Amino acid sequence: MRIVTVSNRLPVVIDRRDDAWAIRPGAGGLVTALAPLLRRWGGVWIGWPGIDEFENADTQRLLAEFGRSEGYELRAVSLTADECNGFYHGYCNEIIWPLFHDLESRCNFVPDYWTVYLAVKRKFADVTQQAIGPDDFVWVQDYHLMGVGRVLRSRGIANKMGFFLHIPFPPPDTFCKLPWRSEVLEGLLSYDIVGFQTPRDVENFSDCVRKLMPRTRRQHRGKMLRVTRSGRTCALGTFPIGIDYAEWAGGAAVPAVSQRVRQLREEMQGLQILLGIDRLDYTKGVPYRLKAIRLALQRFPELHKAITLLQVVVPSREGVPEYQDLKAEIERLVTQINGEFTQPGWVPIHHVFRSIDREELLAYYRLADVALVTPLKDGMNLVAKEYCACQVDGNGVLILSEFAGAAEQLKHGAVLVNPYDLDTVAEAIRKAVAMTKHQRRPAMRRLRKVIEKENVYWWLNQYMRACGLSAPGEAANSPAKPPATADAPPPVVEISGL
Ligand code: GDG
């Protein structure tokens, strides 16, 4: 048996360097988690390579070479520019992404997007069908490809198939606005197992099934909910994705990062540092966060010259007008707030609009006295977990949105807030800044313990066990690879929602 994983993007970045095509491994939680599994079990990763010209001989050769050196095979799905537009930019980013984050007013329900999606999911199914043997386990990742399993079933493929949704699943009132709601539900029920980030998502999915498919049987077995329809059973379960804790904690403690933290501390002249790290996306709640900072500075003058917000926004989907508007709104708010409160020698907000390299990210995480992770809705939010893992000195405070999936695991230890409630967020900031080391340390210790135990390998093992596929010789919570150091070559910044 091999694992055949299917995701929108292949776990590599292919680009032109000095007039020649080059391939590099992608970074990010999914690659870190799945690559060792594929290496150990042998497997195939199927996805779009991220470029249109991939069919040229050079890039085909690069994919083959990369596969040989990594120990698993890469198979590319070729998409035309029109397909990328209708499927990825349209169906995925203008419909499913906002809808599943409860932001239906941002949806653009263009019928053609669905038509293109149907063609694209058939392409993914074609490549998958060619790649699998009768015993292989097919594991499809995330919202882009919910319907691939159903296409395969319709072609008589009987392999064990699983799906994992990285983003939230919305409640019925929201989900039912989707013109193709029944097709999407039926698509998901074609898998043997569907994994969600939180119990909230399983409950929402189950409520949608109850509402739209009343003749479906639902039955709890252990931690799983089994849904049976037309003789086929699909098991639903909660599998909160984790991070490679050892890698983050180890990376934050290497001498180069410690040195950078000392340097930044000197530059920040004793200020408490509040940190925000977000992809440019309206779900991440950056404008609300900035308004909460403004309110905190208006209400609590003792915060002046005592705190500074270091807000990193990573460019994403930059060609899309809505994202340009969001960028402009963030810039306007930062300018207004800095204009209102800056004094000689003190700026309340440092705004970084670019992606930062891993060593700098590790230093920011370790440096920050308070992390502000306040998405309006989020499947999990790995930034919250990475921040805590990097708090090797144990003095940080995590302010976390109750609407992030991570809140379920981190509610004991984090300061939970409703990101829309500016009063409460402003008050949480004041309290967090005033907390003593004695108050901070036990809470951070608790958070780190959960994140260390329920790490990305734990996530993988839980999922595999639920599929009846425990990895041979698996070490429950540990990677099958040496920990990376901050001296490793800079990884590519790849964020799954991009
Ligand atoms: C989706 C779901 C779910 C960010 N800035 C930089 C940088 N990053 C890295 C972080 C982190 C990742 O990007 C962001 O992950 P999130 O989980 O916060 O968010 P999404 O991209 O929306 O991911 C989410 C996730 O899937 C996994 O299931 O948690 O809910 O939306 O890893 O470290 N990395 C570097 N420089 C940056 O400037 N190097």
- pLDDT, tens digit only, all 498 positions of the chain: 899 999 999 998 888 777 778 888 886 667 877 887 788 778 999 999 888 766 666 778 889 999 988 889 999 999 999 999 999 999 999 999 999 999 999 999 999 999 999 999 999 999 999 999 999 999 999 999 999 999 999 999 999 999 999 999 999 999 999 999 999 999 999 999 999 999 999 999 999 999 999 989 999 988 899 999 989 999 999 999 999 999 999 999 999 999 999 999 999 989 999 999 999 999 999 999 999 999 999 999 999 999 999 999 998 877 788 889 999 999 999 999 999 999 999 999 999 999 999 999 999 999 999 999 999 999 999 999 999 999 999 999 999 999 999 999 999 999 999 999 999 999 999 999 999 999 999 999 999 999 999 999 999 999 999 998 875 445 456 654 433 333 333 333 333 343
Let me know if 291 is exposed, middle or buried by CB neighbors in 10 A (0-12, 13-18, 19+).
Answer: middle
Q: What's the CA-to-centroid distance between 298 and ligand 1, angstroms?
A: 31
Q: How far apart are CA 190 and CA 204, in angstroms?
A: 18
Nearest CA to ligand 1 atom 34: 493
Distance 109 CA to ligand 1 centre (A): 27
- Catalytic residue list: 166, 378
Nearest ligand 1 atom, CA 382: 17
CA of 246 to the centre of ligand 1 (A): 17
Q: Which two tokens stand for residue 265?
A: 């501390």
CA-nearest residue for atom 13, ligand 1, is 495
| Ligand 1, CB within 6 Å, residue ranges | 28-29, 166-167, 241, 277, 279, 312, 314, 355-356, 358, 361, 378-383, 386, 493, 495-497
Q: What is each CA distance from 399 to 220, 393, 430, in whole angstroms?
A: 34, 18, 11
Measured in Å, residue 473 CA sits from the centre of ligand 1 at 30
Instruction: Please give the Cα distance from 313 to 355 (Å, whole number).
Output: 7
Instruction: Write out the two tokens for 484.
Output: 């990376």
Q: In what order do the strands lie in the sheet with 232-238?
A: 73-76, 43-48, 3-9, 137-141, 161-164, 193-196, 232-238, 224-229, 217-221
